[in-house]
Structure 1
Amino acid sequence: MDDSKLVEIEAWLDTQGLSGTSETDLMNGFCARCLDAGIRLERANCFVDTLHPIYEGRVFLWRREGQVERAIIEYGSSQQGESADNWQSSTFYRMLQRNEDEMRQFIGQIDTPEFRHLVTLKSEGCTDYLALIHRFSNEGSIGEMDCFYSQWSTDAPDGFSEEELAAIRRLVRGLGLAIKCTSLSRIVQTLADVYLGHDAARRVLAGRINRGAAERMEAVLWYSDLRGYTRISDTAAPDEIIPMLNDYAEAVISSIHEAGGDVLKLIGDGTLAIFTNPRSAAACAAALKAERLLRKKLKILNQRRRAEGSPATDVYLGMHIGEVFYGNIGSDTRLDFTVVGPAVNEVSRIASMCRSVDQTVLVSDSFAAALPAKKRQALVSVGRFALRGVGRAQDLFTLERTVAKPAG
């Protein structure tokens, strides 16, 4: 085997890893170059665990001929259900249990391979199989992302040659490093999105991390919380509280995101979000769209929870438009990317007035004034109020369709 070909592959991996090439392109490019170097690959895949609220990790698949049905598979927890069964019957689980880093199975000479996925490979014409685990150090691990796993198969009648096996062992280290680099970038983006919100994450990852770096802007503010949460939390079983909060947070947050808003903070049962647009009317319309989506989701959610015998409630919502400072606040070692200003206090006070006037949604007079005349007709005044901590009295409005007594 020409060593210069292997050196070229290693150089290519270095370049692609530094440039942030996607895992799928890395896998496809790597396998194509291996074929060109004389390594008779038929099937290959690799995977790494990740940090994600839904997925435990991602698998990247390649085959020599034909299209892979799914080039990327995102898998859930390997601790329960079918995923746990599949994992515990895999070669990699066996290798980890035995503290091994390599397993070769010459499946062409085995009547019935011990592992289910090897039975499948044999039935599809593969003759030889190699599994490799490259472990990260404690300092190089993030959560469950502590190994790079890969498996390689050939359909050559005599299996892999010793020269091919040596080349695979040599080259896969570089592939693992390149894929780890790309996966770490994806993890950073995911964590920033999950904990900061999409817009704040974008700003932080673009370098807006200096304390005091804030932008003065006009935004529509949304503040919502759960009706009767204190009473429910005092009477419900402790193990019901977190699932309940998650159910209602999912309804609120997904509605905001679907309408183009960004959630900035979760405060117990409360949610602070913003909608931004150069046109104030468009930002207000987006917030109203999110409110409509939320009511539809709450109807379905409450039907399900009542059928399960679980506590059900509603969401109080205040909406306001005003000037805020949007950026980093905190110390040198602990920052929060959020909004501050009198308008933030005002929207929370508006939301708290929902209880007093028995409405599920209230909007400020400035929010109402920003709407086009046609949309403003859908608002109904509930009176003029002096809000605690707000220097001026103002008219508050609700939506005409919500004037009826809120559903419990």
Structure 2
Amino acid sequence: MTNAVSPEISTILMDKVADWLTHSSLAGDDLETMVRGFCERLAAAGMPIARVHLSFSMLHPLYDALGFTWERGSGMRVEGFRQKPGQSSDRFTRSPYYHLLTNKLDHLRRRIDYSGPSEFPIFDDLKELGITDYMAFRHLFNAGKDQGMMGSWSTDAPSGFTEGMIAALLRVQNHLAVAAKMAVLNRLADNMLTTYLGNDAGKRVLSGNIRRGQGDTIRAALVMADMRGSTMLAEQEGREAYIDTLNQFFDAIAAPFNRRGGQILSFLGDGFIAVYPCDRHREPSEIACRAALGAAFKATARMSVLNENRKRQGLSEIGYGIGLHVGNVMFGNVGLNDRLTFSAFGSAVNEVQRLQTLTKKYPQNVIASQDFATYCGGGWITLGREKLRGVKEKLTILHPDATDISEQDDDGTFEISYDGVSDAEQLMLLLRNDGGAGMDSGNGKAVQ
């Protein structure tokens, strides 16, 4: 614990913390950098803070909330989890946050009583840290309650928080909320662009590459994949079941192409196009093509697992085709002046699409051009020469030798665990739902 005498909190130093938040916000710092810097400066200013927990709702297609836990001398832990439907966690419903939200309170303060049972489960954890005083709060970013900040301050000062400390925390809390909202909005813009456009295209747009016709000519390994028999599946399964099937298909076949330099550029109905940008030299082209081929092997294996699962459920198998090619593509903005899309286009894109359609003619699911196979090396089976629509010369088309599949290493990065939901997500879902209906199951940890 800290010294028995409660320190006087310097207004000047606390103002410096607030000023730093303003500068951090104007500089466009990310939320993690801002929260870590804030907590360290808060402690450096003389506030006897031992632990800080902050949670921010995030308008993101994949992630719902971010949580930050800072402990003096231990640094900061960050959590960000996807939403998973389930039941309310009993531990969460017995938390200070739940009490604060369900009673529509802005603040909740408790002295930690070591002589009897804890009012909330989290207090048992705080006792191990020597915490003497605890304050939880919520701060909405707007009236719609779709974004906001919640958190808690904990001190191990023997006398707890003084009135001066509480006043200083309330003041700096307002500055933190403003700065955090800016960081959340910046993160939102980045999240949306990278989720819907891809990482590289999203960065290009954020950096100002937004004029129609603006872009670059790049060299890339190209991948085009498509589902077979989607119309029949849609008729057989119905709308909701078909959408679920389509997402399962993309999870299985597309995820490997969004790693190791690959980018899913766009989803086209029940298919997609991916690119592996590379320099205009042999070695970078070899690296890009081999990465694309490795992803194709993984996608093939994942589709086998998916179809085995569907077979056990009495569902029909999902057919697919993958085309592989390499070439120069134009990468940039096309469309209308007031409605643009960021995409790759050019003859190489048309050719990889034609290669993909040849999987309807041949029994193989993966077909590549001679140029792609040459850069990859390894074993290939020549299928023949085909005249592609729009291409003058016939192209030699090949299929990768299945014996090479075992040589591809699994990087173990594709599967995402959905076990448990973070405290941050639970409290932000409750904040949005205004009462906790349909809350997710917890991960067994105490809510902060």
TMscore range, shorter length? 0.7 to 0.9
Structure 1 stretch displaced more, 295-304 or 102-111: 102-111
Report the residue type matching 2:247 in the other structure. Answer: N
CA distance in 1, matches of 2:248, 2:13: 55
Q: Is residue 2:16 matched to residue 1:12?
A: no
CA distance in 1, matches of 2:286, 2:43: 58
**Cα deviation digits, residues 121-162 of structure 1 (max 9, x gap):** 3464323221121211258x7xx3x21112112233332111
Residue of structure 2 equivalent to 1:67: 74
1:318 aligned counterpart, secondary structure: strand
Deviation at 1:119, TM superposition (A): 4.4
Deviation at 1:208, TM superposition (A): 1.0
CA distance in 1, matches of 2:313, 2:18: 57
CA distance in 2, matches of 1:79, 1:166: 39
Q: Is residue 2:188 matched to residue 1:184?
A: no
**What is the correspondence of 1:369-408 to structure 2 with a 5 Å cutoff?**
370-371=374-375, 374-375=377-378, 378-401=379-402
For these two proteins, the number of residue pairs brought into alignment is 391
Residue of structure 1 equivalent to 2:437: none
1:295 aligned counterpart, secondary structure: helix
Matched-pair contact (CA < 8 Å) for 1:196–1:337: yes
Matched-pair contact (CA < 8 Å) for 2:325–2:372: yes
Residue of structure 2 equivalent to 1:265: 266
CA distance in 1, matches of 2:225, 2:170: 55
Determine which structure has greater relative contact order: mean sequence separation of CA pairs < 8 Å that are 6+ residues apart, divided by chain length.
Answer: 2
Report the residue type matching 2:80 in the other structure. Answer: E
Matched-pair contact (CA < 8 Å) for 2:332–2:343: yes
Deviation at 1:74, TM superposition (A): 2.0
Cα pair distance change 1:348/1:138, threshold 3 Å:
farther
| TM-score relative to the length of structure 2 | 0.78
Q: CA RMSD in A?
A: 2.8
Q: Is residue 2:293 matched to residue 1:288?
A: yes
Structure 1 stretch displaced more, 85-94 or 10-19: 85-94
Cα pair distance change 1:395/1:135, threshold 3 Å:
same
Matched-pair contact (CA < 8 Å) for 1:131–1:152: yes
Residue of structure 1 equivalent to 2:235: 234
5+ long unaligned stretches in structure 2:
1-8, 404-448
Deviation at 1:213, TM superposition (A): 0.3
Question: Sequence identity of aligned pairs in percent?
Answer: 31
Matched-pair contact (CA < 8 Å) for 1:16–1:178: yes
Residue of structure 2 equivalent to 1:80: 86
Counterpart selection for 1:93 from 90, 98, 103? 98
Structure 1 stretch displaced more, 259-268 or 112-121: 112-121
Q: When you count helix as a share of all residues, which structure comes out higher? A: 1
Deviation at 1:109, TM superposition (A): 8.4
**What is the correspondence of 1:119-130 to structure 2 with a 5 Å cutoff?**
119-122=124-127, 124-130=129-135
CA distance in 2, matches of 1:56, 1:390: 47
Report the residue type matching 1:371 in the other structure. Answer: Y
**What is the correspondence of 1:136-285 to structure 2 with a 5 Å cutoff?**
136-138=141-143, 144=146, 146-278=147-279, 279=281, 280-285=285-290
Deviation at 1:239, TM superposition (A): 3.5
CA distance in 2, matches of 1:4, 1:242: 57
Counterpart selection for 1:40 from 34, 48, 53? 48
Cα pair distance change 1:386/1:88, threshold 3 Å:
same
1:351 aligned counterpart, secondary structure: helix
Cα pair distance change 1:319/1:24, threshold 3 Å:
closer
Cα pair distance change 1:371/1:107, threshold 3 Å:
closer
Matched-pair contact (CA < 8 Å) for 2:141–2:177: no
Report the residue type matching 1:206 in the other structure. Answer: S
CA distance in 1, matches of 2:366, 2:133: 65
Cα pair distance change 1:49/1:85, threshold 3 Å:
farther
Residue of structure 1 equivalent to 2:332: 327
**Cα deviation digits, residues 306-330 of structure 1 (max 9, x gap):** 3344443243111223332210011
Deviation at 1:391, TM superposition (A): 4.5
1:5 aligned counterpart, secondary structure: helix
Cα pair distance change 1:172/1:295, threshold 3 Å:
same
**Cα deviation digits, residues 55-113 of structure 1 (max 9, x gap):** 3211111223x426x6112244386345x555443333333333321122233388444
Residue of structure 2 equivalent to 1:108: 113
| TM-score relative to the length of structure 1 | 0.85
Counterpart selection for 2:321 from 312, 316, 319? 316
Report the residue type matching 1:62 in the other structure. Answer: W
**Cα deviation digits, residues 240-275 of structure 1 (max 9, x gap):** 322222222122222112342211111122111112
Matched-pair contact (CA < 8 Å) for 1:24–1:71: no
5+ long unaligned stretches in structure 1:
403-408
CA distance in 1, matches of 2:211, 2:397: 38
Residue of structure 2 equivalent to 1:406: none
CA distance in 2, matches of 1:148, 1:305: 42
Residue of structure 1 equivalent to 2:432: none
2:264 aligned counterpart, secondary structure: strand
Report the residue type matching 1:67 in the other structure. Answer: S
**Cα deviation digits, residues 6-38 of structure 1 (max 9, x gap):** 222222222223234454444444334434444
